[in-house]
């Protein structure tokens, strides 16, 4: 068996492996590019089979014509697969069928021009070289694994060089059997490059799947964090809810016992809230609660906690805050509440009670003290408002 035929057999074996690889990949990963590459390597395998059969047939022109069609279609499907691999949205229009015309024309012309009519021409080899170099450039600018892209680009570039050298060999020697032995081993080099292409594709897909898995894990963690936030947040105001308060207070009370730091609590209630709901409606009442929630959050430190305590009541936990500072903060919150849009006729105010926790006391007693001061302020404010309305002759 001549050296070039043995070399063809070796490349055919490598092409079979690459063809099977893409079949297996398509079973696992339904990418349209793999269908094009399956067709591409099936056509290359057909071309290699026809080239092996050429010396054994009497009328070779038809076989050369079919061989050239198979090799040109191999390049067409290879490049289309590269385009789809780079962009999954790349469509397949009816106009692409028009490529059949130049393929048939070039195959017919090169088959008729072949002097020995026993192999593919220099023109076909140079077309293959151009196709492989184009694939190398495309993979070089494709996003994804750097190692995979480099391996694919180098493999296709070397394959293009190999085909160009073989093409110039056809120009000089006409018959592949007359080429120097080194050139006759060109198909063996092509087989090695096909194996490098297989490895490059596997690396590219593996790192892409790793990146996709990492993105999915990050999304899951983000979703899990969102679910946790939803579990500790009041849906209307976005403040911490009463359930989360139970977790926070355990930690803060432990810090009080361990380090002897101070801990204060404020209870704030929206005055005239029922009146707002009755006169303006519950939607306006919800807007008032959101406004107050944002106001309270903006007036405390990052280390403080603001909770929706229930209804129109809010609880503010102030770690490392003594009695004087707590009383001052309560007075400031009640005094500085700005006018709330949409409730001009029934403008609410805030009643804020405060208390500082004692290490030897139950926290419930601290809450009760803060609640009592809040109601005391609420009653005082109500009396002042009624007195003011009587003086102005307004209905109470």
Chain segment 287-345, per-residue pLDDT in tens: 999 999 999 999 999 999 999 998 999 999 999 999 999 999 999 999 999 999 888 78
The pLDDT of residue 363 is: 93
Question: Which strands, in side-by-side order, build the sheet including 305-310?
Answer: 305-310, 313-319, 263-270, 350-356
Which of the given ranges, 24-38, 189-203, 325-339, has the highest pLDDT on average? Answer: 325-339
The pLDDT of residue 342 is: 85
Distance of CA 235 to CAs 62, 241, 244, 304, 308, Å?
77, 9, 13, 20, 10
pLDDT band at 118, cuts 50/70/90?
A: very low
Local structure of 337: helix, strand or coil: coil
Pick from 123, 343, 361, 182: nearest CA to 256? 361
The pLDDT of residue 215 is: 77
Mean pLDDT of 82-89: 81
pLDDT more than 70, % of the chain: 91
Cα atoms in the Cβ-side hemisphere of radius 13 Å centred on 340: 26
Is the model's pLDDT at 346 over the cut of 90? no
The pLDDT of residue 207 is: 76
**DSSP class of 345:** G
Pick from 159, 107, 108, 111: nearest CA to 131? 159
**10 Å Cβ neighbour count for 237?**
21
Q: Please give the residue that has the higher pLDDT: either 260 or 94.
A: 260
The pLDDT of residue 206 is: 79
pLDDT band at 116, cuts 50/70/90?
A: low
Pick from 224, 130, 41: nearest CA to 138? 130
Local structure of 320: helix, strand or coil: coil
The pLDDT of residue 185 is: 77
The pLDDT of residue 201 is: 84
In angstroms, the CA 364 to CA 78 distance is 76
Can you give the pTM of this predicted structure?
0.56
DSSP bridge partners of 128: none
The pLDDT of residue 134 is: 94
In angstroms, the CA 135 to CA 155 distance is 10
pLDDT band at 117, cuts 50/70/90?
A: very low
Chain segment 54-63, per-residue pLDDT in tens: 777 755 778 8
pLDDT band at 90, cuts 50/70/90?
A: low
pLDDT band at 229, cuts 50/70/90?
A: low
In angstroms, the CA 311 to CA 173 distance is 95
Lowest mean pLDDT among 160-169, 209-218, 314-323: 209-218
Note whether 352 and 370 are within 8 A (CB). no
The pLDDT of residue 345 is: 80
Mean pLDDT of 48-57: 81
State both tokens at 396. 């109470």
Mean pLDDT of 207-229: 73
Mean pLDDT of 191-201: 87
In angstroms, the CA 389 to CA 368 distance is 31
State both tokens at 131. 């196709």
pLDDT band at 44, cuts 50/70/90?
A: very high
In angstroms, the CA 25 to CA 34 distance is 7
Pick from 110, 127, 120, 109: nearest CA to 174? 120
The pLDDT of residue 336 is: 93
State the residue for tokens 């996709």: 212
Mean pLDDT of 195-223: 79
The pLDDT of residue 236 is: 92
For the chain, list the domains and their CATH numbers: 3-221 (1.20.1070), 242-391 (3.30.70.270)
Average pLDDT, the chain: 85
Mean pLDDT of 239-268: 92
In angstroms, the CA 357 to CA 368 distance is 11
H runs (alpha helix) in the chain: 3-28, 32-53, 61-86, 100-113, 122-140, 146-173, 181-184, 186-232, 242-259, 273-280, 282-298, 323-335, 363-391
In angstroms, the CA 237 to CA 287 distance is 9
Note whether 130 and 157 are within 8 A (CB). no
Mean pLDDT of 273-288: 92
């Amino acid at each position: 068996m001549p050296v070039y035929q043995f070399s063809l057999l070796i490349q055919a074996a490598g092409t079979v492996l690459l063809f099977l690889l893409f079949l297996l990949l398509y079973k696992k990963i339904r990418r349209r590019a793999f269908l094009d590459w399956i067709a591409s390597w099936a056509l290359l395998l057909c071309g290699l089979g026809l080239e092996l059969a050429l010396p054994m047939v009497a009328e070779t022109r038809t076989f050369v014509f079919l061989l050239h069609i198979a090799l040109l279609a191999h390049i067409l499907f290879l490049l289309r697969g590269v385009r789809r691999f780079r962009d999954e949205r790349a469509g397949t229009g009816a106009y692409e069928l028009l490529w059949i015309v130049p393929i048939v024309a070039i195959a017919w012309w090169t088959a008729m021009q072949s002097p020995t009519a026993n192999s593919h021409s220099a023109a076909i080899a140079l077309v293959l070289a151009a196709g492989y170099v184009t694939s190398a450039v495309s993979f070089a600018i494709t996003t994804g694994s750097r190692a995979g892209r480099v391996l694919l680009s180098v493999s296709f570039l070397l394959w293009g060089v190999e085909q160009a050298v073989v093409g110039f060999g056809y120009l000089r020697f006409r018959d592949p059997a007359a080429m120097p032995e080194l050139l006759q081993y060109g198909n063996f080099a092509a087989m090695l490059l096909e194996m490098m292409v297989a490895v490059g594709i596997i690396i590219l897909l593996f790192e892409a799947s790793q990146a996709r898995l990492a993105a999915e894990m990050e999304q899951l963690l983000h979703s899990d964090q969102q679910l946790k936030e939803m579990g500790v947040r009041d849906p209307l105001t976005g403040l911490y809810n009463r359930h989360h308060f139970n977790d926070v207070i355990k930690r803060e009370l432990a810090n009080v016992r361990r380090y002897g730091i101070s801990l204060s609590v404020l209870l704030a209630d929206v005055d005239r809230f029922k009146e707002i709901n009755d006169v303006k409606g519950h939607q306006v009442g919800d807007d008032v609660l959101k406004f107050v929630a944002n106001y309270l959050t903006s007036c405390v430190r990052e280390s403080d906690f603001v909770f929706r305590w229930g209804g129109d009541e809010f609880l503010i936990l102030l770690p490392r805050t003594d009695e004087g500072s707590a009383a001052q903060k309560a007075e400031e919150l009640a005094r500085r509440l700005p006018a709330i849009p949409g409730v001009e006729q029934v403008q609410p105010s805030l009643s804020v009670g405060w208390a500082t926790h004692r290490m030897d006391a139950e926290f419930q007693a601290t809450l009760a003290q803060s609640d009592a001061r809040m109601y005391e302020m609420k009653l005082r404010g109500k009396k002042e408002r009624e007195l003011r309305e009587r003086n102005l002759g307004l209905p109470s």
